[in-house]
Amino acid sequence: MDEISLLLVDDHPVVRNGLRGMFESTPGFTVLAEASNGVEAVELAADLDPDVILMDLRMPGGGGLDAITELTRRGIRSKVLVLTTWDTDTDTLPAIEAGATGYLLKDAPQDELFNAVRQAAAGRTVLSPAVASRLVSAVRSPAPSPLAARERQVLELVAKGTSNRDIARELFISEATVKTHLSHVFTKLGVTDRAAAVAKGYEQGILGRD
């Protein structure tokens, strides 16, 4: 098999360095370039046409998700392997939907990483066991129905300690409507009170991203 060319994308110099070191000292891989954010990554990918792009999702200035979406939109042939530090559940599915070929956690052993890159280069999907099991459980459950726009707004205000009455004022709707929205939120999140709803909101990443 030919050498596999790589593009490393991560905002941490340390991590880029580590990856570069690992791949350069292993035959069969070439690191073409590094990028520290999504925008840069897209440009470099378009220029250099790497076989595989190793990408962190969480990056300041041009998130990884947007980058993947953009790469897919442009029809770039590079396979994207998401290599993230912690698995947040929230990110996995969107990333894969956006076009990522694989999803690995950074604490994977080196062999697994090398293997994953080879698999990715060959176009096969690679998932960390942890991620894989999450996926199946995500599919298994009917639909973690995300909240409707209005419902999310209400939940956000609830998280700030706003009373139904004040939420109504703030959103220019009646208190009755607020209660209706909240009821729906409760149902969708599988809880029965606002405190638990807020907790679920954070767990599921609906809340918390300032």
Closest to a second copy by CB, 69 or 127: 127
Distant-in-sequence, close-in-space partners of 28: CB < 8 Å, separation ≥ 6: 1, 3, 4, 118
State the binding partner of 136 from DNA, a second copy, none, CB within 5 to 8 A by kind.
Answer: none
CA distances from 16 to 8, 31, 71, 138, 205 (A): 6, 10, 20, 31, 27
Nearest to 184 by CA among 140, 157, 159, 149: 149
Residue type, 121: A
Residue 91 sits in the site that holds DNA (CB under 7 A)? no
Residue 17 sits in the site that holds DNA (CB under 7 A)? no
Residue 20 sits in the site that holds DNA (CB under 7 A)? no
Closest to a second copy by CB, 94 or 205: 205
Instruction: Kindly report the number of other CB atoms within 10 A of residue 193's CB atom.
Output: 10
Residue 46 sits in the site that holds DNA (CB under 7 A)? no
Residue 150 sits in the site that holds DNA (CB under 7 A)? yes
Q: Among the candidate windows 8-16, 34-42, 129-137, 185-193, which touches DNA by CB under 7 A?
A: 185-193
Residue type, 46: A
CB 128 within 8 A of CB 103: yes
Residue ranges that bind a second copy, judged by CB under 8 A: 11-19, 21-22, 85, 106-110, 113, 158-161, 163, 191-199, 202-203, 207-208
Q: Which of 92, 151, 200, 206 binds DNA (CB under 7 A)?
A: 151
Nearest to 11 by CA among 73, 55, 70, 76: 55
State the binding partner of 202 from a second copy, DNA, none, CB within 5 to 8 A by kind.
Answer: a second copy
Find the shortest distance in angstroms from Cβ 154 to DNA: 8
